[in-house]
A and B are shown apart, each in its own frame.
Chain A
Amino acid sequence: MSKAEIKSPLPGMFYRRPSPDSAPFKNDGDAVSAADVIGIVEVMKSFHEVTAGVDGKAIRFLVDDADAVMAGQALAEVEA
């Protein structure tokens, strides 16, 4: 089974929830489809949704909520 990485399109702060009090977009082990939002990157106070980009199962996050991330950094991996 192959693994696919979901990368951050932008540098910034990565959030796994739509707002601090909400449930995460996805939990480890969830299945994702390409159009699913898996998180938000905040860059210079503007917010950009990150979509999975691939269909897969068993997503596993590689960064924590509110972690600083670089552009191109792997945010999560899925079994494609």
Chain B
Amino acid sequence: MTIHSVLIANRGEIAVRIIRAAKALGLRTVQVHSQADAGSLAVKLADEAIDIGPAAAKKSYLDIEAVLAAAKAAKVDAVHPGYGFLSENADFAEAVAAAGMKFVGPDAAAIRLLGDKVAARQVAARAGVPTVPGSDGRVSDLAQAAAIVSRIGFPVMIKAAAGGGGRGIRIAHSLEEFERHFPQASAEAAAAFGDGGLYIEKVIEKARHIEVQILGDGTNFVHCYERECSLQRRRQKVWEEAPAVGLPADVRKRLCDSAVALARSVGYSGAGTVEYLYDDASRDFYFIEVNTRIQVEHPVTEMITGLDLVQEMLRIAGGQPLSVGQDDIAIAGHAIECRINAEDPHRGFMPGPGTVETLAVPEGEGIRFDTMLFAGYAVPPFYDSLLGKLIVHGADRAACLAKLRAALAGLGISGIPTTVPLHKALAADADVAAGRFHTRFLENWLETKFAAPPSGTREVA
């Protein structure tokens, strides 16, 4: 490989994950951290650690100059951005490359192209990937927009071209509602993203969220099959699976092939994810967006394929061709990931940072817990609430669910609230077991099925 060292421009569980992958490849690891993260597991595990600023992400993990200065000082060959923070920031990727280092991910041009939701939709359409009925590009005025919605029908989503991650989305059920939302959405997008551009998509009711993992080295492109992430709360994924539940084989083939066609059309390099909505009733799938980075839920793909996606990313950045061809990648069994957040599911998911008193981690074949926790660790309040991911692999989905229930029973985190009780309830739910869900399932389920704990007691999970 042409790289011998890597700087991790991230924190939390993904920083730990990247350090482990880099060490397995014999790379020197340099961890940047905010002052609030000086005692983090990633800092302890890395060969070197560099303080890049105060707790606020804007002044540390999102400060391009501070991260670059650390990378130059540490004389690293590559920078891995993880997910979130600067991972899909084209200016950052460009600055890393301009400083003579490898950005672990696609180049700035690809990030810019695929990061613009409107441009990405056009790329997908050109590659033959079905897109959700809607505007062909940005819509600038209300009259043009009204003509489009009368053609595609209600309900429609008004989305910010510069948005993503579920932000900057409004739904209109009628023309009257649409005409009221459209100017507000434009003003909000301009304020939030510095770009008031909007586009319109038809709402696919009871859709499932299915996404395809892709890998490319600029010449060769493969998919690593799909993940299902339909269990979401406020458009944030809560529980993910691979493969998708009950997806017909011919649909799977068309879906995965379309993701590879998209990757090939842009000469993709690195790991990426093509996200789709899937309509169970019609068996149609529609492109949503491309994420040009590693995703939180990548481990379920690793569990069913045996690949190490983070090592693969580092090898690609080091100039090596893909270690696998499409024929080498097969689905073995089923995997489920539960996102364990520092939130109290019985109190409206109120975040609860604080000190972890005890930590018990389930172990066994097919059980994995990706985390930055250790007993005594003080979870800071300044970043997102993800504490770790419990990932379980079984011979089939039923075996996987049974193993998950046992693994959740063996996961003990005391001192702070966690979403473990939520996952225990989901793992015991008949609809979940039957795979009867869609992207709006969880919010309704939380209101109707998720019981409050008995009064006077509080579950310590």
* Chain A contacts to B: CB under 8 angstroms: 10-13, 19, 21, 43-46, 66, 68
Is A43 a contact of B381 with CB atoms below 8 Å?
A: yes
Is B56 a contact of A13 with CB atoms below 8 Å?
A: yes
Given contacts A13-B56, A21-B191, 14 further A-B contacts (CB under 8 A): A11-B381, A12-B382, A19-B191, A43-B351, A43-B353, A44-B342, A44-B343, A44-B351, A44-B353, A44-B383, A44-B385, A45-B385, A46-B350, A68-B56
* CA–CA, A68 and B383, complex, Å: 12
Interface SS of chain B: loop
* Chain B contacts to A: CB under 8 angstroms: 36, 54-56, 191, 342-343, 350-351, 353, 381-385
Can you name 13 A-B pairs with beta carbons within 8 Å?
A: A10-B381, A11-B381, A13-B56, A13-B381, A19-B191, A21-B191, A44-B342, A44-B384, A44-B385, A45-B383, A45-B384, A66-B56, A68-B56
* CA–CA, A46 and B351, complex, Å: 8
Count contacts between A and B, CB distance < 8 Å.
36
* CA–CA, A45 and B350, complex, Å: 11
* CA–CA, A19 and B54, complex, Å: 20
The 5 closest A-B pairs by CB, nearest first: A44-B351, A44-B385, A11-B381, A12-B381, A43-B381
* CA–CA, A21 and B343, complex, Å: 30
Residue of chain B at shortest CB distance from A11: B381
* CA–CA, A12 and B353, complex, Å: 9
Is A68 a contact of B191 with CB atoms below 8 Å?
A: no
Give chain B residues whose Cβ lies under 8 Å from the Cβ of A11: 353, 381
Give chain A residues whose Cβ lies under 8 Å from the Cβ of B353: 11-12, 43-44
Is A13 a contact of B191 with CB atoms below 8 Å?
A: no
Give chain B residues whose Cβ lies under 8 Å from the Cβ of A13: 55-56, 381-382
Residue of chain B at shortest CB distance from A19: B191
Decide: A44 near B381, CB < 8 A? Known: A19-B191, A68-B36.
yes
Candidate in A19, A21, A66 with the most chain B CB atoms within 10 angstroms: A66
* CA–CA, A45 and B342, complex, Å: 12
Residue of chain A at shortest CB distance from B342: A44
* CA–CA, A24 and B343, complex, Å: 29
Candidate in B191, B351, B381, B383 with the most chain A CB atoms within 10 angstroms: B381
Give chain B residues whose Cβ lies under 8 Å from the Cβ of A10: 381
Nearest-neighbour CB distance to chain B for A8, whole angstroms, equals: 10
Give chain A residues whose Cβ lies under 8 Å from the Cβ of B350: 46
Residue of chain A at shortest CB distance from B236: A45
Is A68 a contact of B351 with CB atoms below 8 Å?
A: no
Nearest-neighbour CB distance to chain B for A71, whole angstroms, equals: 9
* CA–CA, A75 and B350, complex, Å: 21
Candidate in B351, B383, B384 with the most chain A CB atoms within 10 angstroms: B351
Nearest-neighbour CB distance to chain A for B31, whole angstroms, equals: 21
Nearest-neighbour CB distance to chain A for B58, whole angstroms, equals: 8
Give chain B residues whose Cβ lies under 8 Å from the Cβ of A68: 36, 54-56, 382
Give chain A residues whose Cβ lies under 8 Å from the Cβ of B55: 13, 68
Residue of chain B at shortest CB distance from A41: B381
Residue of chain A at shortest CB distance from B343: A44
* CA–CA, A80 and B382, complex, Å: 32
Residue of chain A at shortest CB distance from B35: A68
Residue of chain B at shortest CB distance from A68: B55
Nearest-neighbour CB distance to chain A for B391, whole angstroms, equals: 22
Residue of chain B at shortest CB distance from A66: B56
